[in-house]
Amino acid sequence: MQQLSASLKAEGKTIGFVPTMGYLHDGHLSLIKTAHAGAQVVVVSIYVNPAQFGPSEDLSNYPRDIERDQLLCRENGVDIIFYPDDGQMYPDAYATYVDVEGLTQHLCGATRPGHFRGVTTIVNKLFNIVQPDCAVFGQKDGQQALVIKKMVKDLHIPVQIIIAPTIREKNGLALSSRNKYLTPKQRKEASVLYKALQLGEHLILDKGELKASVIIDEISKLFQNKPDFTIDYITIVDTLKVQPIEHLSGEIMLALAIYVGKARLIDNIIIQVPRDQIPEIH
Ligand SMILES: Nc1ncnc2c1ncn2[C@@H]1O[C@H](COP(=O)(O)OP(=O)(O)O)[C@@H](O)[C@H]1O
Ligand SMILES: [Mg+2]
């Protein structure tokens, strides 16, 4: 892959990169489309990265279908699929990891210790292998997007990061490979995740509610009396340091993670809250 990228670059071609864990859906396909718009050659990686799964998580059950993925890539004009195995990515005595501090403390970082260390490590490795000019990630994984942008900035990685919008089903449910774990009934009811985000946005922008605790309480009520749904977190953070905030101002992310039956689903929205008016001093 490194040699292939080097020779493409020697020909003057630009490379757009979409890292995935496979079992592709329309969310991935929209990232591929964005990559095509930004570069001449599109590389998709398909790799279920063990380093980003906790010991009791769904690594062994994670849905896979490489043949279907290959077809979808072909249909969508992907030039190269990079499909490594664990032995290549983490050979015996593998020892090097990348950690972004602070931004990985809360939200999914709190529930999934080590998750972002696995993500930033594999993305670094993939960037070094694929050597892309630009790479496309989805807003669906909102904290991941912020963490990767921070890593690229801090480590001076010469890759342009593009964040593409979340693709949803008609009922609002964000597409995810993990939706495969849902029963048809749960998939229908899971539209409540996006409804919850929209309620938050309504309270903030239309009702002028700027206290995070009040908003989170209201949103939490949507998950009461739903036996299949358990809240992992509903949190509002700033998009710079990804720290929970109580008084909302500036660019914020309302994010949630909800267990729905066997699946843990995440979703988020970014909201621009008018900045506090600072009185002029004469
Ligand atoms: N519904 C979606 N809309 C936009 N991008 C998405 C969506 N779902 C996943 N992505 C993006 O696809 C990339 C690969 O994620 P992956 O873990 O393979 O997908 P999944 O969400 O299905 O688990 C990530 O950058 C992720 O943010
Ligand atoms: Mg994912």
225-261 pLDDT, tens digit each: 999 999 999 999 999 999 999 999 999 999 999 999 9
Domain 2-164: which topology?
Rossmann fold (3.40.50)
The answer to whether 156 is a known catalytic residue is no
Its CATH class, for the domain covering 177-269, is alpha beta
Atom of ligand 1 nearest to the CA of 179: 22
**98-124 pLDDT, tens per residue?**
999 999 999 999 999 999 999 999 999
Atom of ligand 1 nearest to the CA of 174: 1
CA of 22 to the centre of ligand 1 (A): 9
**58-80 pLDDT, tens per residue?**
999 999 999 999 999 999 999 99
Out of 25, 28, 106, 156, pick the active-site residue: 28
As annotated, the residues of the chain forming the CATH 3.30.1300.10 domain(s) are 177-269
For residue 280, the model assigns a pLDDT of 76
Which band of pLDDT confidence, cut at 50, 70 and 90, is reported for residue 166?
A: very high
Q: How far is it, in rounded angstroms, from Cα 231 to Cα 223?
A: 7
As annotated, the residues of the chain forming the CATH 3.40.50.620 domain(s) are 2-164
For residue 26, the model assigns a pLDDT of 98
Which band of pLDDT confidence, cut at 50, 70 and 90, is reported for residue 281?
A: confident
Most informative mutation of 17, 18, 20, 122 for ligand 1 (most atoms within 8 A of CB): 20
CA nearest neighbour of 194 among 246, 265, 110: 265
Give the percent of the chain with pLDDT over 70.
99
Segment 47-68 shows an average pLDDT of 98
CA nearest neighbour of 21 among 57, 65, 54: 65
CA of 28 to the centre of ligand 1 (A): 6
Q: How far is it, in rounded angstroms, from Cα 193 to Cα 31?
A: 22
